[in-house]
Amino acid sequence: MEFGVIGFNLGGLSTPDSMERVVVSAEQLGYESVWSGEHVVISEPDPSSRLWELRTLDTIASLAFAAAKTERIKIGSGILLLPQRDPVVLAKELAGIDVLSKGRLLVGIGVGYVPGEFEALGIPYEERGARTNEHIEVLRTLWTEEWPTFDGRFTKFSGIQSLPRPVQDPHPPILVGGCSKPALRRAVAQGDGWFGMWGLEETKAQLKELEEIAKTTERPESLGPLEITVAYPGEPGATDGFIGSDTVKRFEDLGVDRFLVSRITTDGWYEGRSDATSPPGQEVEDRFVEFMEKQAAELGLSPG
């Protein structure tokens, strides 16, 4: 199983110095990958919620920055809200990151779940699933076809070219996130992998559901086996996100291929005790790097 770190562009880490220190440290400590998070805008009905304070640097900018500051570690979007993007522009941006990183990009995508974010962008919330399905195919078309053409519901083009193509052959892996049945079907039918953010029992249930869906959903042979990536939000009530090797082994036994850790715990967002809603500062940066060091030792990673 491979190990990564997620959240390097969020909250108290959203400064150039903090981001550089985190991604470089992750590479040096032996992690396989670093992952961004995404909200183009924050929409929250309760103005008193700490989520209003969540700083999120743009995914594309963050991935390009991480690529420039590292040499070997893979860089991933965890996740990119695909229906909120123009897929033709996005294909160009992601291809550029794969070229500039020399083939280190991993593309995690999802549909999004906050209606207010779609409203702000002028995109119908109810179309997010259909847009995601089509946008995936737009990306693959622009990345792989010599003379790309597309005639879809939301995107149409012909007589165009988009070069350079990604370094990875045939293209960077696309990991489909989500836990709904449509999302799981999308992962089976269109994804190189599935991306989840769940605890042990929830992950077990999701993987079983994926197995059942795979019995009735056609998967192109060209996609190969479905790679499983899980970003673990930490034990309930945890304040630092640390995960013991016994828990990690249970995820591995379930068939998880890549396990992502983060000190930016999910439940802590709402209680003011997470670095995701902390202002940037040396203390936040130090805590995150110390966490990565402690977690790398627990996981038995080999420094690079």
Contact call for residues 194 and 155 (beta carbons, < 8 A): no
- Among 130-144, 167-181, 228-242, the least confident range: 228-242
Domain contains 40: yes
Distance (Å, whole) CA 77 – CA 10: 12
pLDDT at 268 over 50: no
**Amino acid in position 201:** E
User: Using one digit for the tens of pLDDT, what is the confidence trace for 65-120?
Assistant: 999 999 999 999 999 999 999 999 999 999 999 999 999 999 999 999 989 999 99
Distance (Å, whole) CA 31 – CA 8: 13
Domain contains 65: yes
**How many C-beta atoms lie closer than 10 Å to residue 138's C-beta?**
23
How much is the average pLDDT of 255-278? 67
Q: What is the pLDDT of residue 272?
A: 40
Domain contains 304: no
Residue 53 phi, psi (nearest 5): -95, 5
Q: What is the pLDDT of residue 198?
A: 85
Domain contains 194: yes
Distance (Å, whole) CA 290 – CA 63: 22
**How many C-beta atoms lie closer than 10 Å to residue 275's C-beta?**
28
Domain contains 147: yes
**Amino acid in position 9:** N
Q: What is the pLDDT of residue 27?
A: 98
Domain contains 204: yes
CATH number assigned to the domain comprising residue 9? 3.20.20.30
Place of tokens 């996130």: 177
Q: What is the pLDDT of residue 107?
A: 98
Distance (Å, whole) CA 3 – CA 267: 22
Residue 280 phi, psi (nearest 5): -60, 145
End-to-end CA distance of the chain, in Å?
17
What percentage of residues in the chain have a pLDDT greater than 90?
80
How many residues are recorded in the chain?
304
User: Using one digit for the tens of pLDDT, what is the confidence trace for 272-298?
Assistant: 445 666 778 898 899 999 999 999 999
Q: What's this model's pTM, rounded to 2 decimal places?
A: 0.94
Contact call for residues 150 and 203 (beta carbons, < 8 A): no
pLDDT at 156 over 70: yes
User: Using one digit for the tens of pLDDT, what is the confidence trace for 4-51?
Assistant: 999 999 988 999 999 999 999 999 999 999 999 999 998 865 555 666
Q: What is the pLDDT of residue 266?
A: 47
What's the total number of domains in the chain?
1
Q: pLDDT class for 271, splitting at 50, 70, 90?
A: very low
Q: Is residue 224 classed as helix, strand or coil in its secondary structure?
A: coil
- Among 98-102, 173-177, 205-209, 277-281, the least confident range: 277-281
Cα 33 to chain center, whole Å?
Answer: 11
Q: pLDDT class for 300, splitting at 50, 70, 90?
A: very high
Q: pLDDT class for 239, splitting at 50, 70, 90?
A: low
**How many C-beta atoms lie closer than 10 Å to residue 155's C-beta?**
17
**Which residues make Cβ contacts (< 8 Å) with residue 295, sequence separation at least 6?**
242, 243, 261
Strands 227-231 and 150-151: unpaired
Domain contains 84: yes
Q: What is the pLDDT of residue 194?
A: 98
Distance (Å, whole) CA 195 – CA 38: 14
Q: Which of 20, 9, 167, 173 is nearest to 96 (CA)?
A: 167
Distance (Å, whole) CA 189 – CA 94: 22
Q: What is the pLDDT of residue 25?
A: 98
Q: What is the pLDDT of residue 149?
A: 98
Expressed as residue numbers, the domain containing 89 is 2-299
